[in-house]
Structure 1
Amino acid sequence: MNAIRATPNQLTFLRLCIVPFLVLAILDGHFRTAFGLFILAGITDGLDGLLARVLKQRTILGQYLDPVADKLLLSTLFLVLHHEALISRRVTVLVFARDLGILIVAAILYAGMGMRNFRPSIIGKANTLAQIIALLTVLLSQFYGPEWVLFIRHWSLMATVVLTVLSGFHYAWKVARQLGSPGVAATG
């Protein structure tokens, strides 16, 4: 099967296509639309993984494209919401720097040593969850702001800061440990 035509990869491409419309909705102040588009992007993310397993359509392209689409979506939202003064510079810089750092290190290790094992840790997954909740509540609070939404918004942004730092250090530690193991040179 052509990897580009695989249904999970089509959903990932759809998620990538949603990003500019999501950005425009935020910049135009259409937060209900932005919230809906973010939910749609989340649904495509969940479906692409499920369908890859159920339809047995896991592809090399999908293994690389899916996390890139996720990082692009989340990092772009943090940058745009910071631009609109809805998320602090500290949170945005930490999230963006960590994701950019991981992407650069992964590309270097792949190109230089053929290392391909970059599975997210439990801390990385918790960080992604905190980021998603933070972004959802930031968008939601722009048109629906009861106390519980503001509470979750505040604490999910704090969790994002803590988990971004922890997962960044954990990732660096894992890479350093992998590079120090005897079989690393043989994998390239």
Structure 2
Amino acid sequence: MNLANKITLARIFLVPIIMFFLLVQVKFPHIRVEQFSITYNQIIAALIFIIAASTDSLDGYIARKRKLVTNLGKLLDPLADKLLVSAVLVSLVEMGKLSAWITIVIISREFAITGLRQIALLEGIVMAASKWGKWKTAIQITAIIALLINNFPFAFINFRFDLIASWAAALITIYSGIDYFIKNKHVLNFSEGS
């Protein structure tokens, strides 16, 4: 197994660790400053999430630079991304920090695009990620980090950046999904009898 794939696997293995710090009631104290409060376990989960999310670019860069692109890597990389984002989104819903509908929109889009990619693979077509898909990922990660750290530092000025980022993530997720289907509608061969 090459270095890029090991980094991708490490991202997958970090998912349950993040969930542990978010969902298991560890007796860490809170940091309280005026109207802002955060637990140490939230800070640890946020730091691990940031490290895990940053490995997405790293493993792709290493695979391309060292010519280590493999079929295993092509399978694991998007799977790792989806596991990481989906697990944290579900955890945030459980914690009461995120509306369930936003999580459902984001996860549903991922299932739909994965299905479209599977159909394309059966036809021998490899579908590249779009610029909107990359923006979607960046905004989702930004929203997740803002939610994990309780809207720091914007909480001090009563500006709901976390809420705005969550809505932006939902909207761009919907738009990028529609855009992806429109640009790749040729993959869906609706012939008679199907």
**TM value normalised by structure 1:** 0.83
Query: Could you list the per-position Cα deviations for residues 10-66 of structure 1 after superposition, in whole angstroms to 9, with x for gaps in the alignment?
Result: 000000000011111110252011111101202322221221133222222212211
Query: Could you list the per-position Cα deviations for residues 51-110 of structure 1 after superposition, in whole angstroms to 9, with x for gaps in the alignment?
Result: 113322222221221111111111111111112211101211100111111112222332
- In structure 2, the partner of 1:62 is 73
Cα contact 1:25–1:34 (8 A) shared by 2: yes
Match of 2:172 among 163, 171, 185: 163
Alignment of 1:31-42 (within 5 A): 31-42=42-53
- In structure 2, the partner of 1:134 is 143
Q: Which amino acid aligns with 1:37?
A: I
Q: Please, which runs of 5 or more residues in structure 1 have no aligned partner?
A: 181-188
Instruction: Find the aligned partners of 1:56 and 1:83 in 2 and give their Cα distance.
Output: 41
Q: Higher helix fraction: Structure 1 or Structure 2?
A: 1
Q: Which amino acid aligns with 1:65?
A: L
Instruction: Find the aligned partners of 2:176 and 2:158 in 1 and give their Cα distance.
Output: 25
Larger radius of gyration: 2
Supply the RMSD in Å over aligned alpha carbons.
Answer: 2.1
Q: Please, which runs of 5 or more residues in structure 2 have no aligned partner?
A: 26-40, 190-194
- In structure 2, the partner of 1:71 is 82
Match of 1:11 among 4, 7, 10: 7
Cα contact 2:22–2:45 (8 A) shared by 1: yes
Q: Which amino acid aligns with 1:16?
A: I
Is the counterpart of residue 151 in structure 1 residue 160 in structure 2? yes
- In structure 2, the partner of 1:25 is 21
Match of 2:181 among 158, 169, 172: 172
Cα–Cα, structure 1 residues 118 and 148, in superposed 2: closer, same or farther, change >3 Å?
farther
Cα contact 2:21–2:42 (8 A) shared by 1: yes
Q: Which amino acid aligns with 2:184?
A: V
Secondary structure of 2:175's counterpart equals helix
Is the counterpart of residue 47 in structure 1 residue 73 in structure 2? no
Instruction: Find the aligned partners of 1:178 and 1:40 in 2 and give their Cα distance.
Output: 35
Instruction: Find the aligned partners of 1:110 and 1:151 in 2 and give their Cα distance.
Output: 42
Cα contact 2:63–2:69 (8 A) shared by 1: yes
- In structure 1, the partner of 2:118 is 107
Q: Which amino acid aligns with 2:167?
A: M
